[in-house]
Chain A
Amino acid sequence: MMTDRLLGATAIAVAAIMLMFGYGLQAPFAYEPVGPRAFPIIAAAMIGLCGVILLLKPGKSAAEPVGPIAAIAALSGCLAGYALLFQSLGFVIATTIFMIPIAMIFGAKWWQGALTGVVLAVSSYLLFDQLLEVVLPAGPFGGIV
């Protein structure tokens, strides 16, 4: 009930933002009847309509179990940290540092996590960067590590 209403309200907000930034979209030289504005507005209308329906007629909420909030927040935080520091720390260091807590969230002891992190970081660096030529960030100690 409540969650559907919240989803509906968010959808309406998204649609409003899309309209706000989409309404001014106009081609300097229009040589076709439908410009760049129409389609985003159609999409916004669709999202907004769904939002209104959800707000007015929310469905029954699914009673599925939600995992421990702390674990979900921790995993989200680790993912964000990994994404932000991937480039500046370099692949090997960032992977080692962030995979330890992620493994521990999923039940590893600290040394199991450390082992996973190191093995994963080094082996995938060798496989992707050296063998498959996917350039990965080397980080501050690039020459040594």
Chain B
Amino acid sequence: MDTFNYLMHGFGVALSPANLLLAALGAVVGTMVGVLPGLGPINAVAMLVPVVFALGLPPEGSLILMAAIYIGSEYGGRISAILLNVPGEASAVMTALEGYPLARQGKAGIALSLSAWTSFVGSAIATLGIVVAAPILATWALAFGPVEYVALMVFAFACLTGLLTDQPVKAMLAIGLGLAISTIGIDANSGVYRYTFGSPNLVDGVQFATVVIGLFAISELLIMLDTMHGGMTVRIEQLGRSLFNRAEMRFTNMAALRGSLIGFFVGILPGAGGTVASALAYTTEKRVVEKNDPEGSRFGQGDMRGLASVEAANNSASNSNFIPMLTLGIPSSGTTAIMLGVLTLYNLTPGPALFRSQPDLVWGLIASLFIGNFILLAINIPLVGVFARMLSVPAWVLVPFIVVVSAIGVYSGKSTTFDLVLMAALGVGGYVLRRLGVPMAPLILGLVLGKILEQSLRRALSLSAGDVAILWSSPISVTLWGMAVAVLLVPLLLPRLAKWRQKTSLQMD
């Protein structure tokens, strides 16, 4: 009942004209950005950080705008994947697998409207899940002290290295670099200057917006040069019938439901966002279909169930991503990490206390997720042709636009040449790191969590007068340490496990 009242209060916040306008604006901009190949939600949200401040938005307004852009670009990512076989982001790779063959068969309109619908189903289920799960988790998380927080953050980092990539060492390196950047500047506890090298520009640390824009938006431009190969030819398939019919909806209902649930639970895990969720949903759906309906399976040649489950999972995960961010203050993806970074810029400490101290912010955001999804469904089905036209914007307009908006964004913070040069340097450095296989999302997570981790660690050790054993003194922290070790070790053991199983089965034969 309490939850219901809070939710209604949240709708009051989200339905205020200003916030409604922000959600609608975010939905449109997000879809447009998502359509553009190479520009995912993380770039869109990164470039927005300074703009949000320039607009002088209150914290709930800026979070609502960013959240709408985030889920909007997840909707938009499917358009280029289906029409061009060019996934706008990693989580849309699976969308292209079934969506593009459908488009080749002249069913692009059906694929687009159906995927918009299942995206909506996934988001709606996940948002309901947030309403139910988040307050419970937040109450539970209030019992967390500095000791538990240290263990929780180590678990989050372990998830990032264990789940995200096939090269865990590089993910760990990225986390380490993020932690290192977070130590630059004056130390809040002792007043000691760390790694400032005498530069006044570094005294209060590196600007968050500069790092994020450099590493994501600017480095992405250099990546675009790698993937362009002298001009992309855009040939959009005929859209065909633009709306799915009732039979097609019934055909895909179960797939969408399964995808939504998979996405929801995967999205809660730190480090595992839409990419893992959509891959897991796709393989699950394929297995289910091949078991129950082997003759009807069109997987690989345009099966609507595959498309439905992937899009539901992807959007469900991007919504349930908000659960760990809001309740624990631990973002589970790069995009939510940036939003968390923005919260700290407003001097708000992310974590369970937020539910009590900032009900407007938390419940306004949750309510606006509902509203944003309705807006997205409403604009995505009739206007898909308009968004598809975004694909014909040439790179030579797009790239200068991104450079200028990025530079203005970085400059607006402190108005120094230093920050602009740092942005360019981080852009080139980020490009080199990405080319070497070092992922950027863990770096941002390390940067955002670094200060909180250090403070928790120092507070915990102050409590015990320096005895490290306090870090595994409570049942919660022991469990979290255990989970962290498990997440790190399982992928290492898996290939061996698989080999061992193969060997034993051979012997059995």
Contacts and interface: CB of A to CB of B under 8 A. Distances in A.
Interface of A: 3-4, 6-7, 11, 14, 18, 21-22, 25-30, 32-36, 38-40, 42-44, 46-47, 50-51, 53-54, 59, 62, 64-68, 71-72, 75-76, 79-80, 82-84, 86-87, 91, 95, 98-99, 102-108, 112-113, 116-117, 120-121, 124, 128, 132-137
Contacts of A42: 179
B229 A62 contact: no
Given A40-B180, A83-B424, A113 B225 contact: no
A134 B54 contact: yes
A88 B189 CA distance: 38
B173 A66 contact: no
Given A4-B437, A135-B415, 8 more contacts: A18-B180, A39-B450, A64-B435, A72-B226, A75-B221, A79-B424, A87-B420, A134-B54
Contacts of B465: 33
A34 B150 CA distance: 15
Nearest to A61: B437
A62 B437 contact: yes
Contacts of A14: 177, 180
Nearest to A32: B462
Q: Identify the 7 closest CB pairs spanning chains A and B, nearest first.
A: A33-B466, A27-B190, A108-B396, A46-B176, A83-B420, A67-B225, A50-B173
B192 A36 contact: yes
B229, B403, B454: which has the most chain A beta carbons within 10 Å?
A: B403
Contacts of B289: none
Contacts of A4: 436-437
Q: Majority SS of interface residues in chain A? A: helix
A112 to B, nearest CB: 6
B299 interface: no
B404 interface: yes
A69 to B, nearest CB: 10
Given A76-B428, A132-B54, A43 B167 contact: no
B39 interface: no
Contacts of B400: 99, 102-103, 116-117, 120
A102 B421 CA distance: 17
B394 interface: yes
A38, A42, A66, A75: which has the most chain B beta carbons within 10 Å?
A: A75
Nearest to A117: B400
11 contacts: A27-B187, A36-B187, A39-B458, A46-B176, A65-B229, A67-B227, A80-B421, A106-B224, A116-B397, A133-B54, A136-B411
Contacts of A36: 187, 189-190, 192, 194
